[in-house]
A and B are shown apart, each in its own frame.
Chain A
């Protein structure tokens, strides 16, 4: 329990991932499903960035001319997350474009109704 309190960033990211997952499963509205997906994304980024942080060190940008690995935090997770954030935007844009097309075809954003209508269409 004590360990969980010191690792609060990791614990929080796990809980956020769970909440996003629950959103993805439970929500009937497609837009809220995609907000849940975005929350899952940021939870993973938070976990990665928390793995790279080290107490008492500064951001990985040369300060006062110190070239020493013991002075800066780990730059690898920052690089990974930076590319991830921008890709998540393109994924969001693509999925929202799909949502607009679905709305244009079925006239609703409710997952269950869309499933029902598509089944009726198939049956014809």
Chain B
């Protein structure tokens, strides 16, 4: 493994931890779900670095796609989307 690749992987992992903390700290539910979406996308890139393309495709479609759609629909149902049409 080259040094450059290691550095990129460490940066990605640090980003994961940062977004996990960000989800806990933010007070806005909408922001929390958006940050979680970013977390899933970064996770998909990490699966590619770990040589598991199957997992990368699934995580990108499921984690960043379907999962966040379900979260957004729940936010709409519980009237937590302030500042949008549904607010």
Contacts and interface: CB of A to CB of B under 8 A. Distances in A.
Given A8-B10, A16-B17, A27-B24, A35 B33 contact: yes
B29 A100 contact: no
Nearest to A61: B53
Interface size class of B (residues with CB under 8 A): 35 or more
B78 A99 contact: yes
Interface size class of A (residues with CB under 8 A): 35 or more
Q: 5 nearest interchain CB pairs?
A: A12-B13, A59-B51, A19-B20, A103-B78, A96-B74
Interface of A: 8-9, 12, 15-16, 19-20, 22-23, 26-27, 29, 31-32, 35-36, 38-39, 42, 45-46, 49-50, 52-53, 55-59, 61, 73, 77-78, 81-82, 85-86, 89, 92-93, 96, 99-100, 103, 109
